[in-house]
């Protein structure tokens, strides 16, 4: 589904169980799917300093894979795109939040196979956190309110508990489910990681235009984003706070043609429905 991207699991969302060959211990494999912001409006700032938004989010087939195995102590390893392996890792943040909610230790060995580019606006970190919540609940037989735990981790995390399509409002946590926008998409990423907080701070100075009112702010934070967008052309739009861009295509062949001549990370993917 893109360069350096493993084929998707046949099931759209749920955990897949497999047994380790030596220990016969159950390992859960949970896909953590990306998203696109098909539009994004920034409505202003609250008294608490947060930005309120309204955005149409669509889950797509591009995904990371998170493996969870019971262990004597918690650890994490990663392959693919580089991500933190300390307390800044969203999987470990989700793990700590679940331990707090459960009131006990949940020793787990994680392995994250990372295909969604970090700092791209594709929601990879939030999706990884949601996958960790779902996997931990299944692995340790926990009966907890995952929605509440997800909201405590990040504004995007609740969306990824269910996927599909939704309008997100507030900080992104108020969700209204929508019909799936069935389409193919070509995605291009310039290899630039953007800080979401920095982009929103820049929005206070530059505002922005539709379809994504964060684009001018992203270009202020990192001028290479503006250069990249100019090279892609007007049919491409930015997702989230950047720096990835996408264009809607009528079919897979058209999407592959759209990425064929680009000298950057690319992916060809399609929309997916809810997985929970």
> Cα separation of 57 and 121, whole Å?
11
Query: Which has more pLDDT, 73 or 46?
Result: 73
Over residues 167-194, the mean pLDDT reads: 95
8 A C-beta contact, residue 64 and residue 131? yes
8 A C-beta contact, residue 241 and residue 218? yes
pLDDT, tens digit (0-9, with 9 covering 90-100), for 55-75: 999 999 999 999 999 999 999
Helix (H) or strand (E) holding 102: helix 90-102
Nearest 5°: phi and psi at 200?
-65, -35
pLDDT at 92: 97
pLDDT at 17: 55
Instruction: Provide the 10 A C-beta neighbour count for residue 209.
Output: 9
8 A C-beta contact, residue 241 and residue 214? yes
The DSSP result for 214-237, as a single string, is THHHHHHH-HHHHHHHHHH-TT-E
145 band by pLDDT with thresholds 50, 70 and 90: very high
Instruction: Provide the 10 A C-beta neighbour count for residue 142.
Output: 16
Helix (H) or strand (E) holding 90: helix 90-102
pLDDT at 181: 85
Q: Is 35 a catalytic residue?
A: yes
Give how far Cα 170 sits from Cα of 119, 200, 228, 255, Å.
Answer: 21, 14, 30, 32
50 band by pLDDT with thresholds 50, 70 and 90: confident
pLDDT at 140: 96
**What is the model's pTM?**
0.90
pLDDT, tens digit (0-9, with 9 covering 90-100), for 71-115: 999 999 999 999 988 878 999 999 999 999 999 999 999 999 999
CA torsion sign for 32, 107, 69, 115 is positive
Over residues 232-250, the mean pLDDT reads: 97
Residue 50 has what DSSP assignment? P
14 band by pLDDT with thresholds 50, 70 and 90: low
15 band by pLDDT with thresholds 50, 70 and 90: low
Query: Which has more pLDDT, 96 or 44?
Result: 96
Q: Is 78 strand, coil or helix?
A: strand
User: Among candidates 217, 194, 215, which has minimal Cα distance to 205?
Assistant: 217
Task: Lowest mean pLDDT of 23-27, 118-122, 184-188, 237-241, name the range.
Answer: 23-27
> What residues does each domain of the chain span?
16-270
Query: Which has more pLDDT, 2 or 214?
Result: 214
Question: Residue 12 pLDDT more than 70?
Answer: no
Mean pLDDT of all residues belonging to the chain: 91
What residue has token string 């291009």? 188
pLDDT at 133: 98
In the structure encoding, which two tokens stand for residue 51, read together?
Answer: 């930005």
pLDDT at 173: 87
CATH 2.60.40.10 fits 16-270, yes or no: no
Which one from 143, 145, 156, 181 is the annotated catalytic residue?
A: 156
- Most distant pair of Cα atoms in the chain: their distance: 58
Q: Is 156 a catalytic residue?
A: yes
Which one from 35, 64, 114, 128 is the annotated catalytic residue?
A: 35
């Amino acid at each position: 589904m893109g360069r350096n991207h493993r084929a998707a699991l046949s099931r759209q969302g749920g955990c897949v169980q497999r047994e380790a060959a030596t220990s016969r211990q159950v390992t859960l494999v949970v896909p953590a799917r990306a998203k696109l912001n098909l539009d994004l409006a920034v409505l202003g700032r609250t008294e608490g300093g947060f930005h309120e938004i309204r955005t149409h989010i669509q889950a797509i087939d591009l995904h990371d894979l998170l493996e969870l195995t019971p262990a004597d102590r918690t650890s994490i390893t990663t392959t693919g795109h580089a991500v933190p392996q300390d307390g800044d890792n969203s999987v470990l943040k989700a793990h700590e939040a679940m331990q707090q909610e459960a009131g006990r230790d949940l020793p787990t060995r994680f392995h994250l196979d990372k295909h969604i580019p970090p700092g791209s606006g594709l929601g990879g970190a939030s999706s990884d956190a949601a996958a960790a919540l779902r996997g931990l609940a299944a692995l340790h037989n926990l009966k907890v309110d995952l929605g509440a735990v997800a909201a405590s981790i990040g504004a995007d995390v609740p969306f990824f508990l269910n996927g599909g399509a939704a309008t997100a409002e507030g900080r992104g946590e108020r969700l209204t489910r929508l019909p799936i926008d069935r389409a193919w998409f070509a995605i291009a990423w310039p290899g630039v990681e953007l800080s979401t907080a920095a982009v929103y701070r820049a929005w206070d100075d530059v505002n922005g235009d539709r379809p994504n009112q964060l684009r001018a702010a992203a270009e202020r934070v990192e001028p290479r984003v503006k250069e990249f967008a100019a090279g892609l052309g007007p049919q491409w739009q930015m997702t989230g706070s950047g720096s990835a861009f996408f264009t809607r295509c009528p079919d897979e062949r058209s999407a592959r043609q759209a990425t064929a001549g680009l000298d950057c990370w690319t992916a060809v993917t399609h929309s997916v429905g809810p997985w929970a």
